[in-house]
Chains A and B, each alone.
Chain A
Amino acid sequence: MSGAWTWLTDAANWSGPGGVWTRLLQHLWYTLLSVAIAVVIALPLGALIGHTGRFTGLVSGVANALRALPSLGLLILLALWGLHTLKGDLALLAPAIVVLVILAIPPILSSTYAGIANVDPAARDAARGMGMTGTQVLLKVELPVAMPLVMSGLRSAFLQVVATATIAAVVALGGFGRYVIDGLAQQNYSMMVAGAFLVALLAVLGDRILAVIGHFVVSPGLTGRAAKGRRPAAPTADLVAARTIGMSGGG
């Protein structure tokens, strides 16, 4: 433990191509890129399925299937394929990003779908009755009301990706996972623990930041904080299930 502290406080470990700042940027880059791509794919898909009510089986089917995939195995599979097929840096990076995106999709897809599907039907009916077109109902009413769940899905996805990106170090990628893998290889326990600590820190801080962002993005009328002094109403069973399904393993 103290070894890890020593390692972390050693300035030499913070600079240079193997230094903490570099690794941080790499880790962040993999994470943000993958989550962004996953959002572009899964959010509209989840929103449309929730809005139209069609292909709802797709959501749980896809989410469950993708979540069952062993992240390490997938990573190695695609990395190997990448090494054979692609050239240069991309050979390992592209497959890794693909895996990260695949793993980030389930939480975003199911949370967005659940959020939209659970919008008060009376609000939807009123919106249509007032003369909003289908798209307007989706964008002005359903999505904003679904925001709390969408944000929770985003946070789950972020955690999932940070965790798996750590493992990506096995296939020679950068990021904080490098410290763990290299530390293991070199029997440098301090470096391992330091790496583990840095990953945990990144995950926790990132989650906190997303929570704060969520605070600003989600209307106060939705969080139950605005409710008259009561604590928020007990969630319905399918909402709890949906929230859970939107979460994923720590990696």
Chain B
Amino acid sequence: MNWEWLQRNEQQILAWTLEHVWLAAVPTILGLLLALPVGAIAHRYRWSYGTLITLAGLLYTIPSLALFVVLPGLMGTRILDPVNVVVALTLYTLALLVRVVADALDAVPPLVVASATAMGYKPLRSLVTVQLPLAIPVIGAGLRVAAVSNVSLVSVAVLLGIPQLGQLFITGFQLDFFTPIIAGIVLCLLLAAIFDTIILLTVRLSTPWTRAVPGR
């Protein structure tokens, strides 16, 4: 492991890392924001559940590289444009989370929803203030999967020439040099772990009732 090389290229690696963070975090958040309403619709209007979930499933089936390549043609952007990556990964996150959100809302005890309605909550308010909070733990689990996947998928985009940690892999391959490859893997793992922990902590903090220990 060549530490000197790492030190020399510190700036570049840092730049790539920041780019990687941005490219992975934005789609995750965007995907979540889009999945919430779509998942809520699939949950609420049962007839749409099948179609929406099938579409999401289909979207999720498409391998990332394929999507990265096809999107520029559809969106009219250049292949090299990072927007492709953001859009593609947002679509993936959306596809993954729609089902999670719908199922998480399904898993909220129907009696709780019924009480809320009986107390006079209108559907939208009930959804946002009662059902979604209760669905947070499960959605959080799905979000962690999505975030970690996205970190890995962003590195694939290096094949299209987009600068991020994936560059370390290509560099290593071209230079026949292990150091950048290992560094890249470690940094990706680190990023994935950080994202995972942030989401985990956010879920914990926003669901104090799951931490309450029943008095014995």
Contact = CB atoms under 8 A, between A and B. Distances in A.
| Chain A in direct contact with chain B (Cβ < 8 angstroms) | yes
Interface of A: 1, 64, 67-74, 76-77, 79-81, 159, 162-163, 166-167, 170-171, 177, 180-181, 184, 189, 192-193, 195-197, 199-200, 203-204, 207, 231, 234-237, 239-241, 243-245, 247-251
B138 A70 contact: no
Given A68-B148, A70-B184, A73-B188, A196 B61 contact: no
26 contacts: A1-B73, A70-B152, A72-B159, A73-B184, A77-B169, A77-B181, A79-B173, A170-B159, A184-B159, A192-B69, A196-B67, A196-B69, A200-B67, A203-B62, A203-B66, A204-B58, A207-B57, A237-B104, A237-B138, A240-B103, A240-B106, A249-B92, A249-B146, A249-B152, A250-B62, A250-B92
A193 B107 contact: no
B160 A184 contact: yes
Chain B facing A: main interface SS: helix
B132 to A, nearest CB: 14
A250 B181 contact: no
B158 interface: yes
Interface of B: 46, 57-58, 60-67, 69-70, 73, 79, 92, 96, 100, 103-104, 106-107, 110, 137-138, 141-142, 144-146, 148-153, 155-156, 158-160, 165-166, 168-170, 172-173, 176, 178, 181-182, 184-185, 188-189, 192-193, 196
Pick from B60, B69, B149, B155 the residue with the most CB of A within 10 Å. Answer: B69
A162 B66 CA distance: 11
Nearest to B195: A68
Pick from A70, A163, A199, A244 the residue with the most CB of B within 10 Å. Answer: A70
Nearest to B182: A77
Contacts of A250: 60-64, 67, 92, 149, 153
A251 B107 contact: no
Given A68-B188, A77-B182, A195-B69, A207 B148 contact: no
Contacts of B155: 70-73
Contacts of B172: 76-77, 80
Contacts of B166: 70, 72-73
Pick from A80, A177, A235 the residue with the most CB of B within 10 Å. Answer: A80
A204 B92 CA distance: 15
Nearest to B149: A249
